[in-house]
Each structure stands twice: as C-alpha cells, then as structure tokens.
Structure 1
Amino acid sequence: MRAVLAAPPPTLLVIAKAPLPGRVKTRLTPPFTPEQAADLAEAALADTLETLGRVPAGRRLLVLDGEPGRWLPPGWEVLPQCGGALDRRLVAAFAHAARLAPGAPALLVGMDTPQFDAASLAGPLSPAGRAGVDAWFGPAEDGGFWALGLARPSEALARRLLADVPMSTPDTGRHVRERLAAAQLTCRQLPALTDVDLAADAHRVAALAPHGRFAARLRALTTPRGAAR
C-alpha cells in the first residue's frame, strides 16, 4: 500500500505536427483539400490534448514539429521535435520525459486517434493499475500503434524498443511487440483504435466520438450547404 501511495504520477506525451496545409493528413486529399485536411488534423489534435488533460498526470508534454497555435490548451509544455526519422523522434520524446520527470512512467500518444477516452488510460496508469506493469501498448487497427508507455522510461530502453523499427507499415506494431517481449517487459495492452489516415477512417472515428471537435469539423465539411441541421 505504501508503494502505491508513493507512486509518482505519469508523464503524458503527445507527438504531433503543427496542423498546416500540405504537412498533415495528406492521405485525406482527395476528397478533402489540403486546407480541410489541416482543419481536421487541428480538431483531432485539440481533442487529443483535451482528453489527455482529464487523465491524472504529473507533466504533460507536447513534442511538436512546428509552432503551437490556438488549439493548445493550458497545462501543456511544448518541446521541439528532434530531426530524423519517426523512430528517432519517438526515442527522443521518451528521453525528454525521462530527463524532465525522473522515476515517473511515461505514456506517448499520437494525434491521429481523437476517439479515445480518458478512462481507457486513467485506469491503467493509476498507481494500483500499473502495479507489476513495465509497459503499455495501444495497437492501431492498421498494424501500427496509437499509444506506447514505459513504466521506467530511459533513452536506452526507448532506443532498444524503437530504433530502426519500420514506421507506418502494417508490421510496425508487431515489431514493437516483439521488442517488448525480447526485453522481457510485462506489457498491458490498451484498446485497439483506428487511426485517421483515409477519409473512410475519418467517418468511422467521428461516429465513435460524435461530440468532439473532430466529428463536428467533419460534419461541417461534409454537410451540403443549405441542408437541414
């Protein structure tokens, strides 16, 4: 009981690109224009940050490629992404967390799953829920992952798990799970979610979270002018 009470609160990380036309959600074009795709990305990022704001945490870090905008809520520290491929940027994000909050677990989430709910993370990350857990893995239905957490993050461990893993492929998640197993980490699986990559994904995700900014923005872009609301 004493160990549970003394458990440090987690660090929550989001890795994201600033939602600018032509730089984000390019697979949504067509049917959407680059400006519309950026609007959807902004809504997804805003929903993600707001939801994570309801998850108990010690620090909230946005590891950002670009500049923050009106979508950034209070309570988030912004850190610039390092250069290089995505695997290197993920390693660097965990290294940031380990330096800024030594001894605290860290969980990283992307900006492409605005439908997740706070309870799906708050329970597993609570002091009681994380007892005996070394890592958390949130699979994406396209074969990737939407969340990855480490109970005792370090740059060395993150590099062992992520360096040179092929990213954005149907086998990305499998590679990471194999490395978690090879490192003999006890891993708790989080719910499987759909990434917003294509227009069909956007509609599926909006249906799962109809009251969020993302769903509202998608409705605004796809409802014919003059149609009844």
Structure 2
Amino acid sequence: MTQVLVIAKEPLPGRVKTRLCPPCTAEQAARLAAAALEDTLRTVAATRTPRRVLALQGMPGPWLPRGFTVIPQRGAGLDERLAAAFTDAGRPHAMPTVLVGMDTPQLTAPLLEAARAALASHDAVYGPAADGGFWLLGLRRPDPALVLGVPMSQPHTGAAQLRRLREAGLSLAVLPELRDVDTFADACDVAASAPGTRFAATLTTVREALD
C-alpha cells in the first residue's frame, strides 16, 4: 500500500504566492493558491490510494475534500517540514509514501498512480520541476535523513535531492517534468496546459480584473 501526502499552506492573503504580486493583489494571489490547492487535493482524492494525508500549515478550509487525514506541519526550514511530514504521515505504521506540494495544479491522477506504481519496484520516485526543484518525491521507506539538509527553494535543489537519493544507494524512477506556479508567467503557462482546472478558471477571472 502506498499513501499520498500533500504538503501545503492555508491560502491566506499575504502568506501564499507572494511572487505573483504584482501584477496580482495579495487577495488574488491567495485565490489562485486556493484553486491550485483544491485542484491538487481533488486529484489526490481521485486516486486509488488507501490513505490520503495533508500536512498543513494553518487551518483547513472549504477547499478540503473528505477522506484526508490532516496533520500539522512542524519544523523550521522546508527540509525539516518535509522530513517531519514523511515521519508523521507514517504513524502509527510507516508505509511507502508519495509526497506532492500545492504548486502543480496540472497534476493528474494517472501521474500519481504512476508514482505509486513505481514504488513497487524502486526505492524512490522523483518528479523534476522546470525551475530546478522537484514537484514529487516518493519513498518506499521514508527516512528523514533523505531530505534533511537538502537546500530548498534554490535552482540546484533538485540536483541536490537527487544526489542525496543516489548517495543512499536507492533505485530511482523519474517522472515527467512539470512547471511549478511561482511567478505570473508560470501561472499563465500552467493554466494554458490545464484549461479544465479550477486554477485556470480562477486565473481567467483574475486576468479580467487586471485588464
């Protein structure tokens, strides 16, 4: 059995997607973040995973579907929060875990199912992001040491994480590259690639307000 773990922030104005401002206002950026998070969670809900976990910084909102176990984030840097999320999601019994964030609303259920299936024959599965980071990390045997100390939110984050996995001697499956939503240009590109998402619809209303 392989569970899916989402790590996310409550989409509050001024605390999420601040790099979208300008041209977005803080409220518009938060609406886009909420849409991206809802798309992600609904995609996870559509998979056949036996357990869905949300490691949340903040409080749940109406964007949270049924069927998720919510755990609080803990730790200072992102590497600590990822390590803690892997650990806490495994209680009381550790199991193979696929982790994603809230920055890829174009994520699909088949991609997640491919990641879950990869852990049946690989120690780790990795989804590279276009900005040099990663959008997915799956571990057959979650171990905090595999992420602690990896420099996060840097152009070389992905390379550093891959090096950590390989130095640990893990067999690795690699998924297709996706683009994170960090900037407004990213948002436009991602919405164009996934026009049927809530994120794309929300971006349309935001762009109309900006015109």
Name the larger-Rg structure.
1
Poorly superposed stretches of 4+, deviation over 6 Å = none
* 1:168 paired residue number: 153
Amino acid at match of 2:204: R
Q: Say if 1:47 and 1:212, in contact at 8 Å, map to a contact too.
A: yes
* 2:172 paired residue number: 187
| 1:13 pairs with one of 5, 24, 32 | 5
* 2:122 paired residue number: 133
Paired residues, what number?
Answer: 211
The TM-score with structure 1 as length reference comes to 0.89
Amino acid at match of 1:172: T
Amino acid at match of 2:81: R
What are structure 2's unaligned runs of at least 5 residues? none
* Equivalences for residues 62-81 of structure 1 within 5 A: 62-81=54-73
Give, in angstroms, the shift of residue 132 of structure 1: 2.3
What are structure 1's unaligned runs of at least 5 residues? 1-8
Instruction: Verify: 1:204 aligned to 2:189, yes or no.
Output: yes
Instruction: Verify: 1:90 aligned to 2:78, yes or no.
Output: no
Q: Say if 1:11 and 1:101, in contact at 8 Å, map to a contact too.
A: no
* 1:6 paired residue number: none
Instruction: Verify: 1:34 aligned to 2:26, yes or no.
Output: yes
The TM-score with structure 2 as length reference comes to 0.96
Q: What is the SS of the residue equivalent to 1:188?
A: strand
Aligned identity (percent) is 54
Q: Say if 2:71 and 2:89, in contact at 8 Å, map to a contact too.
A: no
1:46-95 deviation per Cα after TM superposition (whole angstroms, max 9, x unaligned): 00000111121121110000000010001111111013111000000110
Instruction: Verify: 1:114 aligned to 2:105, yes or no.
Output: yes
Amino acid at match of 2:12: L
The whole-number CA distance in structure 1 between the counterparts of 2:59 and 2:209 is 33
The whole-number CA distance in structure 2 between the counterparts of 1:101 and 1:212 is 34
Flag the 1:163–1:124 CA change in 2: closer, same or farther, 3 A. Answer: closer
Give, in angstroms, the shift of residue 224 of structure 1: 5.5
The whole-number CA distance in structure 2 between the counterparts of 1:171 and 1:111 is 20
The whole-number CA distance in structure 2 between the counterparts of 1:151 and 1:180 is 12
